[in-house]
């Protein structure tokens, strides 16, 4: 039987599902995921990732890891540190990474809302 070919949306959804399952019932993660798109649009992807890194709380570390892992794999960047890669890249790379992050966050948000009970504060 030939292997199934997944669309990019299916891959995003599968990875987002796995990432939400990884955090369990972390309400703070849920709140952070819900606020992430607005934060990225307002402040930019690099500034948002730097904020998550500086906070050094479990829900911030999880989201930073999830975004970085997805974007690195999706865009085939070959760098474990997305923030560093973006700092050394050009504006086209930043635009691509931002668009891919926002697309991925749509799935992450849907699954966080459906799988994590209660509300959480994202900051």
Q: What is the pTM of this model?
A: 0.90
The vertex-24 CA angle with 19 and 25, nearest 5°, equals: 125
pLDDT, tens digit, 9 for 90 and up, residues 44-59: 999 999 999 999 899 9
User: Residues with Cβ < 8 Å from 23, sequence gap 6 or more?
Assistant: 29, 59, 62, 116
Shortest CA distance to 67 belongs to which of 92, 100, 94? 100
Residue 78: DSSP 8-state: -
User: Model confidence at 120, in pLDDT bands (50, 70, 90)?
Assistant: low
Q: Each residue of 34-90: pLDDT tens digit?
A: 999 999 999 999 999 999 999 989 999 999 999 999 999 999 998 778 999 999 999
Question: Nearest 10 degrees: CA dihedral of 107, 26, 47, 12?
Answer: -20
Full set of structural domains in the chain with CATH: 9-115 (1.10.520.30)
Q: What is the DSSP letter of 89?
A: S
Tokens of 99: 């668009």
User: What is the average pLDDT score of the chain?
Assistant: 92
Q: Indicate if the pLDDT at residue 121 is higher than 70.
A: no
């Amino acid at each position: 039987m030939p292997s199934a070919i997944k669309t990019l949306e299916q891959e995003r959804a599968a990875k987002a599902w796995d990432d939400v399952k990884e955090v369990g019932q972390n309400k703070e993660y849920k709140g952070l995921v819900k606020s992430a798109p607005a934060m990225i649009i307002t402040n930019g992807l690099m500034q948002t990732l730097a904020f998550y890194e500086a906070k050094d709380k479990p829900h911030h570390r999880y989201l930073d890891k999830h975004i970085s892992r997805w974007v690195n794999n999706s865009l085939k960047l070959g760098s474990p540190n997305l923030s560093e890669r973006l700092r050394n890249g050009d504006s086209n790379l930043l635009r691509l990474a931002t668009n891919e992050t926002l697309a991925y966050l749509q799935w992450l948000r849907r699954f966080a809302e459906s799988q994590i009970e209660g509300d959480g504060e994202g900051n």
